[in-house]
Amino acid sequence: MSDHAMLEVRDLYKYFPIRQSMLDILLRRPANNVKAVDGVSFDLERGEVLAIVGESGCGKTTIARTLIGLEEQTDGEILFHDELVGAHERRARAGLVPLEAGTVGSSEQKVFPRMSMKRLRQQAQMIFQDPYESLNPRATILEIVAEPLVVHGLARGRDERLERVKTALEEAGLRPAEDYFLRYPHELSGGQRQRVVIASAMVLQPELLIADEPVSMLDVSIRAEILNLLRDLRQRRGVSIVFITHDLSTVAYFADRIAVMYLGRMVETGPAREVLANPQHPYTKALISVIPVPNPRLRRERVILQGETPNPIDLPSGCRFHPRCPVAVEACKVTDPANVLVGENHHAACLLLNVAASPNIASGEAAST
Ligand code: SF4
C-alpha cells in the first residue's frame, strides 16, 4: 500500500448468505454464501483513476457499493484518509460477524477512528449505471441537484444554493444552467440525464467519485462526451475516480491503473498502459483480444473463452479460472495462485508466472505430486 493513499482497501470480503429452507435447517445442511468479493486489496491516490474491469457477476459492483456504505463488508477494512468506513468493526464488537468468523480476511491490530456515514457521503459520491432510474421523476433538475446541499446543510441560504447548483450544472456541461432548473428528467436526453447525475454528485465537491458503468446505458455517440466530462472533472477538481466497467476499451481512454477481476478476486493489477500493452494473466489476455481494432490490417488473434463463469457459491478448486483457462495445466486444479510481481507496480495471479521458480508446473507434473 502507498503511504499517500487516500483510499485503502485491505482484504475486503463480501459474502451474501443464501437463505436456508426449513428442510435445510432440519437436516442441518451447512449454510452457503455467494462469495461476491473474496479477499480484495487495493489503494487509490488523490486525483487517480482506477478502473475495475471484469464480466458481470465478478464482484466489481459489490466493491463499489461497499466502498460507499450501501453494503456492509463481511470482513476487511476500508480506510478513507486513515478513517474506517463501513460497519464491520461495529458488527465484530457485537459478535455479529457472520459466516466462518475468523476464517476470512485479516484484521490489523492498529485502531483507526471511524468516519461517520454522513461525512463519507460528503466526500465520496456514486454515479450509477442507469440515469433513468437514479433521478426522481417528480423533482425538477434544480431540486435534484440542490438536494444533497439541503441534506448536508452545506449552503447558507437560497442564493448560495442556487449558485452552487448553477456551477455544478455548468461544470457538467449543461449550459446555461438556468435553462435546466425547472425541467424534469423525462424532458432530457439520456446523456443530459447522466450529466445531471454527475452534477448532483459534484455539487458536494467530493474527493472520490465511484462511477459504476456510467456509460453502458448510453448511446455510443454520447459515451465519449461523458468520459470526456469525467476526465475534465478529474483534471480540474483533482477528484479521484473508481471506474467500474466490463468494457476494457473505455478504460484505455483515461484510467491510470487497471484492476482485472474474476469471480471475486483481482487477478491482475497494474498501470493501465502496461496492462493493456503487456497483459500477463490469461483472463486479461482474453479480454484484450476481443477489443475491436480500428485498423483492419492490424488483426489480433481472438481468445474466446469456453463455458460459463462458475457458480460463485461453489467456487472451483485451485485457480478459480481453471475450468475456462485456455492454457491451464494440471497444477491449476489444486493450487490457488498467489499474486506475483511481473513488472513495475504490475501484479498477476497465475501459476505459469511462477514457472521460473517451479518449472514442473508448466509441464503439468505438479498435479501428480
Ligand atoms: Fe490459467 Fe492456471 Fe494461470 Fe489459472 S493458474 S490463469 S488456470 S494457467
pTM: 0.86
Residue nearest (by alpha carbon) to ligand 1 atom 3:
350
pLDDT for 296: 72
Q: 43-99 pLDDT, tens per residue?
A: 999 999 999 999 888 999 999 999 988 898 999 989 998 888 865 544 544 444 444
**Ligand 1 atom nearest residue 327's Cα:** 8
Distance between CA atoms of 354 and 151, rounded to whole angstroms?
A: 52
Yes or no: say if 125 and 209 are a contact pair by the CB < 8 Å rule.
yes
pLDDT for 361: 53
**Ligand 1 atom nearest residue 322's Cα:** 7
- 113: Cα separation from own chain's centroid: 24
**Is 258 a residue whose pLDDT tops 90?**
yes
**Ligand 1 atom nearest residue 351's Cα:** 5
pLDDT for 239: 95
359 — pLDDT class (breaks 50, 70, 90): low
Best mutation site among 280, 284, 322 for ligand 1, i.e. most ligand atoms within 8 A of its Cβ? 322
Which residues surround ligand 1 with Cβ inside 6 Å? 281-282, 319, 321-322, 325, 327-328, 332, 337, 350-352
316 — pLDDT class (breaks 50, 70, 90): very high
**Is 356 a residue whose pLDDT tops 60?**
no
Distance between CA atoms of 70 and 53, rounded to whole angstroms?
A: 20
139 — pLDDT class (breaks 50, 70, 90): very high
Between residues 118 and 284, the one the model is more confident about:
284
- All domains in the chain, ordered by first residue: 5-278 (3.40.50.300)
pLDDT for 286: 93
Mean pLDDT calculated for residue range 13-41: 87
Q: What is the separation, in whole angstroms, between the first and last Cα of the chain? A: 36
CA angle 245, 249, 253 (to 5 degrees): 95
**Cell triple for residue 96?**
455479529
Best mutation site among 325, 336, 342, 355 for ligand 1, i.e. most ligand atoms within 8 A of its Cβ? 325
If we measure between CA atoms, which residue out of 193, 155, 188, 189 comes closest to residue 172?
A: 193
Q: Residue 174 carries which DSSP code?
A: -
Best mutation site among 285, 315, 329 for ligand 1, i.e. most ligand atoms within 8 A of its Cβ? 329
pLDDT for 19: 82
Q: What percent of the chain has pLDDT over 90?
A: 58
Q: 4 CA to middle of ligand 1, Å?
A: 33
Q: Which uninterrupted H or E stretch holds 340?
A: strand 340-343
- Phi, psi torsion values for 180, nearest 5 degrees: -105, -15
